[in-house]
Amino acid sequence: MPHQFTIRYQVDGRLGSYRPRLRLYQGDAGVRLEILVSDPDGLAVDLSGVACSLTFRRPDGTMLERTTGYLPDGRDGLVAYTLEDGDLDRVGTWSFRLAAGTAVYEACKLAIHATLPLSPAC
């Protein structure tokens, strides 16, 4: 069985302020994706010293690659990426994969929702 990963999403930078369920919107920025890579026994994979990146596949098939950082140093299998302005630029079903050195942890799908326009004040 290959390595696997789980993901959690931090919204506002406060410790423990995680969304119970992910719901991302077009244009979202500042959401930190924290990815835990574990082996088939559920033990964290030591990623220290390994270059890690996320590759997002947009609904139209184009790719967006981003470098991740470690939490705190990668020994506990945790890497993170904070969404930047312009990353989530399309509505639809996205997928992503994590590359850690020569290992690739395959795609997780996520939906990017349209933002609702604000109605003018009455």
- pLDDT value, residue 4: 55
Q: What is the pLDDT of residues 7-31, one digit of tens each?
A: 665 544 444 444 445 678 899 888 8
Q: Give the global pTM.
A: 0.77
**Whole-number mean pLDDT of the chain?**
79
Question: For residue 88, which of 96, 79, 80 has the smallest C-alpha distance?
Answer: 96
The rounded Cα 81 to chain-centroid distance in angstroms is 6
Q: What is the pLDDT of residues 56-70, one digit of tens each?
A: 999 999 999 999 998
Q: What is the pLDDT of residues 62-118, one digit of tens each?
A: 999 999 998 888 898 888 888 999 999 999 999 888 888 888 887 677 888 898 665
- pLDDT value, residue 11: 47
CA distance 83 to 26: 11
Residues 96 and 58 sit within 8 Å (Cβ to Cβ) = no
- pLDDT value, residue 84: 93
Domains of the chain: 4-113 (2.60.40.1930)
63-84 in b/e burial notation, b at 16+ Cβ within 10 A?
ebebebebbeebeebbbbbbbe
Residues 48 and 73 sit within 8 Å (Cβ to Cβ) = yes
